[in-house]
A = this chain, B = another copy of it.
Amino acid sequence: MADGPIAKLLEELARLPGVGPKTAQRYAFYLLNRPKEQAQALAGAILQAREQVHRCSVCLNLTDADPCAVCRAPGRDHGLVCVVEEPKDVAAMDKTHEYRGVYHVLHGAINPLRGIGPDDLGVRALLARLNDPAHPVREVILATDPDVEGDATALYLAKLLKPLGLRVSRIARGVPEGGDLDYVDEATLARALAGRSEW
């Protein structure tokens, strides 16, 4: 058990986020008990993704092509840019099938406690993109997370972008679809009240 290759595998698996020794053990013995091809497929997928995936030069999303599939899509509205924190937010947004614009991925949010400022995020690339006369942008939707860091980032970007003469918007805050009102936390309910619309 404390043998070399198993210990090494346990160690590497335990580096994954949220994976402790028990989960690493579970994954390791699963990989050791499955057909060899499956373990090789996982290792190959990791290597290939790490080799081929990089940031899109336009929107900074992770992609294996450049520009990425979204930035290349002719059916997309390139005058509408949705700013998100992480690549997974692009996936979440696209799953709605409601949004037909393009994206810009910041790869994080402003977080003074962790020493993350605008220069550590994809802000400069966003400005360069908005200033490019070849691709005029009409509106920027700020879709950073609805938490302190996401709000700070949205506020910062709004101040920075409004002078450029663009429409700048923030996604709506309120009660989520479905579920019970009495399970919604007070902060969300207060936001939903403050942001009520006339019917």
Structural contact, A6 and B50, CB atoms closer than 8 A: no
Smallest CB gap from A25: residue in B: B88
Copies in the complex: 2
A49: chain B residues within 8 A (beta carbon): 5-6, 8-9, 28, 31-32, 39
A161 within 8 A of B: no
Q: Does A187 contact B (CB under 8 A)?
A: no
- B1:A15 contact, CB within 8 angstroms: no
The A10-54 residues at the B interface (CB cut-off 8 A) are 11-13, 15-18, 23, 25-32, 36, 38-53
In this complex, how many residues of chain A approach chain B with their Cβ under 8 Å: the count is 54
List the one stretch of A62-70, A112-120, A175-183 in contact with chain B.
A62-70
Interface centre among A1, A62, A65 (most CB of B within 10 A): A1
User: Which A residues, 68 to 88, have Cβ-Cβ distances below 8 Å to chain B?
Assistant: 68-69, 86-88
A94 within 8 A of B: yes
Closest chain-B Cβ to A130's Cβ sits at a distance in Å of: 23
- Report if A154 contacts B (CB, 8 A): no
Tell me the smallest distance from the CB of A22 to a CB of chain B, in Å.
Answer: 9
- Measured between alpha carbons, how far is A88 from B46 in the docked complex, in Å? 26
When distances are taken between beta carbons in the complex, the residues of chain B under 8 Å from A5 are: 45, 48-49, 51-53, 64
Sorted nearest first, the 10 A-B pairs with minimum C-beta distance are A43-B43, A9-B49, A12-B45, A39-B50, A1-B91, A5-B49, A43-B46, A12-B42, A9-B45, A5-B52
Q: List 16 A-B contacts (CB under 8 A).
A: A1-B62, A3-B64, A5-B45, A5-B48, A6-B53, A6-B64, A13-B45, A16-B31, A28-B49, A31-B46, A32-B62, A39-B47, A39-B49, A40-B50, A43-B46, A43-B50
